[in-house]
Amino acid sequence: MNTIKDINLNGKRVLIRVDYNVPLINELVEDDFRIKASLPTIRHCLNEGASVVLMSHLGRPKGEVVPALSLDPVAFRLEELLDREVMFSDDCISEDAIGLSKQMLPREVHLLENLRFHPGETQNDEKFSQQLAEHADIYVNDAFGTAHRSHASNVGVTQFMEETCLGFLMEKEYRYLGEKLSNPAKPLTIILGGAKISDKIELIENMLPKAQSILIGGAMAFTFLKVMGKNIGASLVEESSLGVAEQILAKVEKMDVSLVLPTDVVAAADLSGDTPWRIANIEKLESNEAGYDIGPETTLHFELMLSASQTIIWNGPMGVCEVPEFATGTQAIASIVRDRTEDGTISIIGGGDTASAIKNSGIQDGFSHISTGGGASLQMMSGKTLPAFETLLQYA
């Protein structure tokens, strides 16, 4: 696959697929993490003398024009971050939009309206793909968040472009989630959280032969604990995955991998923030109590297991971290992983809920890589080849 450094950009029009699927509140960007992640690629193109056309989706308008999902507010935030004018078109394939792109001068920036206002985007429609391709000479994919989707803007459009390549963000995602995980520095520790084993089963299957230890928090831990005959009180259990949990435990035992589960939790009768909570040993959970976060003893045990790790993969929060009372475990693990990274360990953080949880913990920097994709990072860590990368290989 070509990277953006392999392409002569001077005087060219560059169409970049970015991921500006960001939260908006009162028509203002609430979280600009993904916008900032796109800036190195955009600035490189501008510095090389190219004009830049940006395209993205926002939300799920299902092929309809939904004003609340317009990318117009993103254009304003992008202008602030780039410190230059960003032209905006209220449609991505109209004659006016394509005409504006063709008239652009070097170092100008043009953002197109939400791709998913057209059904052709998610249908990977050939005509829609061809219309997108009219915007530019060169195609750059820098939207890892949609790399697992076969859509027009990351698959169909490539066959109509003169040259195609990866942007800096996509290159980094590929390097960490692909190359570094194919042969990770050992010992490798995997930290898993969240609610469902079923969401992580393929990741576990793929990484188990390479791992020395797996640390499990979040609600998914209780499914394993139930299989082991432990007391779990009223904690959430994924009943449909009890058999899968049993199989994983059997494999772990045969492969001499350490699988570590919580020994204590932050327990409460319900999730509301004003409900009394306590630190409870798993064996002493009351029948009406559920565990909503890992406890301090478990955190110390996890820290000990992480102390020798040379590679750490983390996917899923340790508790219900949207509620401050149940966010301490995730915050503590984030701090521990950051400290290990400072000591030279490679730390790879999954996107989606994991990235959000770390951001909310107040620790955003200091990791080797935080993925910008939720489903895409999970699929790639599960050993799957993503459509966006496949098509760039095909048309490179």
- Residues 23, 89, single domain; the answer is yes
> What total number of domains does the chain contain?
2
Backbone region of residue 383 per phi and psi (left: phi > 0; alpha: psi in -120 to 50; beta: other values) = left
- In the chain, the amino acid numbered 5 is K
CA distance 306 to 333: 10
Nearest to 16 by CA among 28, 6, 40: 40
In 3D, which of 236, 37, 51, 20 has the Cα closest to residue 116? 20
Is residue 375 pLDDT above 90, yes or no? Answer: no
**Pair (140, 232) in one structural domain:** no
**Within-domain flag for 42:** yes
In a domain, 394, yes or no: no
Q: Which residue has the higher pLDDT, 273 or 123?
A: 123
- In this predicted model, what pLDDT tens digit does every residue of 30-78 receive, in sequence order? 989 899 999 999 999 999 999 999 999 999 999 999 999 999 999 999 9
Instruction: Name the residues annotated as catalytic.
Output: 34, 196, 352, 375
Coil, helix or strand at residue 214: strand
pTM: 0.90
Strands of 264-268's sheet, edge to edge? 277-281, 264-268, 290-294
- pLDDT > 90: percent of the chain: 81
Tokens of 159: 């066959």
Q: Quote the CA–CA distance of 371 and 295 in Å, as a whole number.
A: 27
| CA gap 269, 234 in Å, rounded | 8
| Torsion angle of C-alpha atoms 105, 107, 110, 111, degrees rounded to 10 | 170
CATH number at residue 20: 3.40.50.1260
Q: Quick one: pLDDT at residue 396?
A: 54
Asked whether residue 57 is assigned to any structural domain, the reply reads yes
Q: What is the pLDDT of residues 139-197, one digit of tens each?
A: 999 999 999 999 999 999 999 998 999 999 999 999 999 888 888 999 999 999 988 89
Q: Is residue 52 classed exposed, middle or buried when 0-12, 13-18 and 19+ CB atoms within 10 A define those classes?
A: buried
Whether 221 and 348 share a structural domain: yes
pLDDT digits (tens, 9 = 90+) for 68-80: 999 999 999 999 9
359 confidence band (pLDDT: 50, 70, 90): confident
The rounded mean pLDDT for the chain is 94
Residue 210 inside a domain? The answer is yes
Q: Of 319, 194, 334, 322, whose CA–CA distance to 266 is shortest?
A: 319
Tell whether the torsion through CA atoms of 225, 227, 232 and 235 is positive or negative: positive
Domain final residue, candidates 142, 166, 190: 166
Range of the domain at 312: 180-381
Burial class (CB in 10 A: 0-12, 13-18, 19+), 86: buried
Share of the chain above pLDDT 70, in %: 99
CA distance 243 to 249: 10
Rounded Cα distance between 66 and 98, Å, is: 21
Residue 202 CB coordination number (10 Å): 15
